[in-house]
Structure 1
Amino acid sequence: MMNKVLMVHPTDNVMVALKDLEIAENIEFEGQKITTTSPVKSKFKFALKDFEVGDEVIMYGVLVGKVTQPIKKGEALTVDNVKHAASDVVVRDRRTSWTKPDVSAFENRTFMGYHRNDGQIGTQNMWLVVPLVFCENRNVLAAKEILEDKLGYSKGRDYDLDIDSLLQKIENGSEGNAILNDDIVIPLSEQKKNRVFKNVDGIKFLLHDGGCGGIRQDSDTLCQLLAGYLNNPNVAGATFLSLGCQNAQVDILQDAIKKVNPKFDKPVFYVEQQKSGAESDFISNIVKYTMAGLVEANKVERQPAPISALRLGLECGGSDGFSGISANPVIGYVSDMLVALGASPILAEFPELNGVEQSLTDRCVEEKDAKRFVDLMAIYKQRAEAVGSGFDANPSPGNIKDGLITDAMKSAGAAKKGGSSPIVEVLDYTEQVTKPGLNLLCTPGNDVESTTALAGSGATLITFSTGLGTPTGNPITPVVKVSSNSILAERMKDIIDFNTGSVITGEDTIATRAATMLEYLLAVASGKEETNSMRMRHDDFIPWKRGISL
């Protein structure tokens, strides 16, 4: 039988409602008896004691808020009676020992990956067509229209919309409101085309609004990010479109590539429009260079690879009050399993680590990384406050509506994605993951900017937990959507790949669900499973301009 409530940490002074609780409902939990003094919605928290103004609210064993109005024992916590608060952080003696999870079932397992000459191993084999400046976006789309269909990479939707029936009703005099309730979705049979290049998983056409204007640091950072995408082992090579006069010059990108990887040897082509004749000649060159690159990319085939070669990005978005007690802890357990197997998980989204800095700092193996994490967080926080939007503004209306009423409360749950293993390195935006073990990467909390950054720093898979649902994906790295609750998994089944709602209902433990998730990740890494974001072509790509983005 499913419990009504959950106490996340033994030192907490609040509980989580797993179901809607009525006023005056009697709750018994591990010897405690509480009577609710207000209705408590599912996913929200309620008080385990009487709180006075200024008292600290503890959840996940850390400070997540302070009381602004008296709260009675059994009363729901809301934005009206609690405000954000987080503990100060200092670099102190670190405790990096940890208990590794049992990974005996996976110790000799492999996945089928793409081996690169520099020793990296990818889960995809993608060719990129990328503009160095936004002026070339239109030409990227022109090349996309030509190449995708001819080479068998275009994908039809698994549904169509019956617009003709709506037009007929309008022609017959129907008012706008009369057609709103019509179901016009028409299911289609799966559409598949034979690929010309069997070993190339796709051609990805990246669009962005950078490369010129703004400040030079933004175009330089864009080049560093694009160099990271090229270096990602999921990428076979690329065709770059240059206008010619933009800030993001070809030589700046080439220098960034050398800095990222001195052994870089993938095929890369640069096509400059201001050196071309007619636009048709320019597009023709883009197509010819890309075709030549695809011939080389097609020579690489999937081969067995150790799990230690995986780099798993850890992301969340559209979080709810269950994310921190089901999806994120399951992902965190997978992260720990991968660390035990020699792989490299990557925890990002620095605004969503506010409030848990001390525990993360204490887990850094090297003091220099502990200091760097504290410094990066402090700089980020100061810049946010300078424009009148501190970390406390991070929770979205959807987060708050579903029980995440302070940033520290959201952060404490979000950090669960990083498990409990030691942190081997702290990286700034665009820096590359090179060490096995858990890495911290400075990115915004913005879903797409963060997933874009994870792939740019080398992630070959990304897990993305959500409690509310989001269609976010990435052009080069498979994104696995993980639902925190079964209602979402059923309602948005065309977006969600993996459900952890069984942890909430008590049907699964975090460990058993994590083992199942790792099996699924290996299938995705081997090309045996296609995630929904891949199927639906959610190829989101937004470079961070290093301004304040929460």
Structure 2
Amino acid sequence: MSTATSQAAPLSAYAIHVDARDNVAVAKVPVPRGTLVQVGGNIVEVLDDVPPGHRFALVVIPDGDFVRQYGQPIGTSKGVTAGALISRANMSNDVPVVRELDEDMHTAAPEYVPESQRATFMGYRRPDGRVGIRNWILIVPTSMCAAHEAVQIATVAEFTLFDKAKYPNVDGVTAIPHNKGCGCSDGSNIEVMLRTLAAYADHPNVAGVVFIGLGCEKTNLTVMEKYLNDQHRPLNKPVARIGIQDAGGTQGAVKRGLEAVEAMLPVANQITRTPTPISELSLGVKCGGSDGFSGLSANPALGRAADELVRQGGTVLITEVPEFCGAEHILAWRAKDATTGHAVYDMVDWYKDYASKFGTVLNENPSPGNVAGGLLNITIKSLGAIAKAGTTRVEGVVGYAEQPKGRGLYLMQGPGYDQESTPGLIASGAQLVVFTTGRGTTIGNAIAPVLKLASNNPIFERMKSDLDMSAGDVIDGTRSIDEVGLEVFEHVRRVASGEMLGKSEENKHREFQVWAEQSVSL
């Protein structure tokens, strides 16, 4: 045995070789310059200090050849030496555009778990047959002109009217203040806002609704009511409507709102949890504050949980369309048929066109934190991001805050921005969201749990009061993606049953915002 061989450590001690076709490995710990690693029968000397989450070349990658991770091109070499740190200096962002589809393509449905063997959870069965996992009284301002009063009603109600001992089946009183309506342009912007607010009011996690409007805005109470009727969404739950101008101003409107909440609380408390097939669950999958490990641990582990839910008859929703860019062909190839595959491409192309109107390109999506963590470009980020959706076939695509027409995996149009995309998933019917993070995030939602799955153990330990689970054992090599994925599935089931709260709920995170799809203030 040569001296170099005896000094070399197995590649797995320092890095992860994601796919056998890859010509790079991802450092899982700091790899100092001069480190010798054994790659198959070869010894590679690492030429640069490589931070965790970043890549180094396993072989010479000639100028013009593709740099590969996940078995896919992630950029083009500018001349990379074996052992070199992959950076923007030696790799361009150029990757091939892949858009071919077999017009006769057909992706088989997953092997579904027999109904008798499917998991169950304890849910709130609503009169229309849908099932909620939480039981909220919701205050909905029809425009930003009523946002202050909505918050006042919810805040005062929780402090003075809501008593968990008295109303054990109610989760509380919450509001969804926003900055839309009234002064926004007509067209798709108002349509998206009304659709989102209506979906929240109609959501199975909501037991009663108080609509509040100023009175003279474009999106007033009458417009909201007409929208609900036109969409055939009768609210089969207690509903109150309050006009601030009609009530004599803020104090009068808040008083009426509190009276409405007080009347709704005992009605909402009458419903109790009952055993429910897991097939009634709709799961939103998201990521934010991603790092170089997100696509290796947390995202594929969540994807494993998503696959299990689909196999058991449930629904999974994924969004963040800018983070499909560079990986959209993989989702299109997984579509149930060519028509659906083309719809995947169309939603990405729509977003590219939409972004270009504002002088923006999707390549600008990775944040400084993403880049510092190893996500050097949108292709790397996207290839890791889509792993959240598992491996089952794509059943269809829906617009922002639109309901899927069936069960299984659906893609929802929407931005990567967490504060807008997460509410969109809830509006599309998700009763809860699992949110993966590599650098740590705290976001929640007004009416639904948002569970955080860390990509690495150090960030989980540092932010334990905000993060629910960790997939870091995958990086450490002590557990498999399958093992962590099934743990995530069980954690979701228990939270859906009300056996535990998500950390975002414990910390009273109740974020809400509507995506301003094509907003112009007038």
Contact 1:96/1:421 (8 A) holds in 2:
no
Show the counterpart of 2:108.
97
Superposed CA RMSD in Å reads 2.1
Contact 1:112/1:525 (8 A) holds in 2:
yes
Q: Deviations over 1:406-432 (max 9, x none)?
A: 100000000000111011111111211
Match among 400, 403, 406 for residue 435 of structure 1: 406
The one-letter amino acid of 2:147's match is: N
Measure the CA separation in 2 of the matches of 1:435 and 1:331: 21
How much has 1:512 moved relative to structure 2?
1.1
Show the counterpart of 1:84.
93
Show the counterpart of 1:57.
67
Measure the CA separation in 2 of the matches of 1:366 and 1:237: 40
1:204 aligns with 2:213: no
Show the counterpart of 1:19.
29
The one-letter amino acid of 1:497's match is: D
Cα distance change of structure 1 residues 64 and 98 upon mapping to structure 2, 3 Å threshold: farther
1:374 aligns with 2:374: no
Measure the CA separation in 2 of the matches of 1:108 and 1:97: 21
Cα distance change of structure 1 residues 266 and 494 upon mapping to structure 2, 3 Å threshold: same
Match among 178, 188, 213 for residue 242 of structure 1: 213
How much has 1:260 moved relative to structure 2?
4.7
Contact 1:322/1:485 (8 A) holds in 2:
yes
How much has 1:202 moved relative to structure 2?
1.6
Contact 2:320/2:415 (8 A) holds in 1:
yes
Measure the CA separation in 2 of the matches of 1:381 and 1:545: 16
Matches within 5 A, 1:343-492: 343-492=314-463
How much has 1:395 moved relative to structure 2?
0.4
How much has 1:389 moved relative to structure 2?
2.0
Contact 1:353/1:412 (8 A) holds in 2:
yes
The one-letter amino acid of 1:22's match is: P
Measure the CA separation in 2 of the matches of 1:285 and 1:315: 38
What SS does the corresponding residue of 2:381 show, helix, strand or coil?
helix
Measure the CA separation in 2 of the matches of 1:95 and 1:60: 24
Q: Deviations over 1:140-199 (max 9, x none)?
A: 2322332111134xxxxxxxxxxxxxxxxxxxxxxxxxxxxxxxxxxxxxxxx6443221
| Structure 1: 5+ residue stretches without partners | 153-192
Matches within 5 A, 1:32-43: 32-43=42-53
Deviates most, 195-204 or 533-542:
195-204
The alignment's TM-score, normalised by the length of structure 2, stands at 0.92
Q: Say how many residue pairs are matched.
A: 506
Measure the CA separation in 2 of the matches of 1:87 and 1:252: 47
Cα distance change of structure 1 residues 239 and 86 upon mapping to structure 2, 3 Å threshold: farther
The one-letter amino acid of 2:27's match is: A
Matches within 5 A, 1:277-316: 277-316=248-287
How much has 1:433 moved relative to structure 2?
2.6
1:142 aligns with 2:152: yes
Show the counterpart of 2:140.
130
What SS does the corresponding residue of 2:150 show, helix, strand or coil?
helix
1:214 aligns with 2:184: yes
1:539 aligns with 2:510: yes
Contact 2:161/2:262 (8 A) holds in 1:
no
Contact 1:100/1:336 (8 A) holds in 2:
no
Measure the CA separation in 2 of the matches of 1:241 and 1:529: 32
The alignment's TM-score, normalised by the length of structure 1, stands at 0.88
Q: State the identity as a percent.
A: 34
Q: Deviations over 1:352-384 (max 9, x none)?
A: 111111111111114332222211210211222
Show the counterpart of 1:317.
288
Deviates most, 407-416 or 297-306:
297-306
| Structure 2: 5+ residue stretches without partners | 1-9
Deviates most, 461-470 or 252-261:
252-261
How much has 1:490 moved relative to structure 2?
0.3
How much has 1:129 moved relative to structure 2?
0.6
Contact 1:86/1:354 (8 A) holds in 2:
no
What SS does the corresponding residue of 1:274 show, helix, strand or coil?
coil
Contact 1:232/1:457 (8 A) holds in 2:
no
Measure the CA separation in 1 of the matches of 2:283 and 2:110: 20
What SS does the corresponding residue of 1:275 show, helix, strand or coil?
coil
Contact 1:45/1:77 (8 A) holds in 2:
yes
Measure the CA separation in 2 of the matches of 1:382 and 1:54: 29
How much has 1:445 moved relative to structure 2?
0.3
What SS does the corresponding residue of 1:111 show, helix, strand or coil?
strand
Show the counterpart of 2:123.
113
Cα distance change of structure 1 residues 461 and 259 upon mapping to structure 2, 3 Å threshold: farther
Measure the CA separation in 2 of the matches of 1:17 and 1:279: 57
Measure the CA separation in 2 of the matches of 1:520 and 1:106: 21
How much has 1:305 moved relative to structure 2?
0.4
Contact 2:38/2:44 (8 A) holds in 1:
yes
Contact 1:227/1:260 (8 A) holds in 2:
no
Contact 2:148/2:177 (8 A) holds in 1:
no
